[in-house]
Amino acid sequence: MLKNIPSVLSPLLLKVLMEMGHGDEIVIADGNFPAESMAKNAIVIRADGHGVPEILDAILQLMPLDQYAEKPCALMEVLPDDTCAKPNIWLKYQRTLALYGENPQAIEMIERFAFYKRAQQAYAIVATGEKAVYANILLKKGVVK
DSSP classification of residue 141: B
Q: What tens digit of pLDDT does each residue of 79-112 get?
A: 988 888 789 999 999 999 999 999 999 999 999 9
Its pTM stands at: 0.96
What ranges do the domains of the chain cover? Answer: 22-140
CB 26 within 8 A of CB 124: yes
DSSP classification of residue 96: H
Quick one: CATH architecture of 22-140? 3-Layer(aba) Sandwich (3.40)
CB 131 within 8 A of CB 57: no
What is the average pLDDT value for the chain, to the nearest integer? 95
* Positions marked active-site: 22, 66, 116
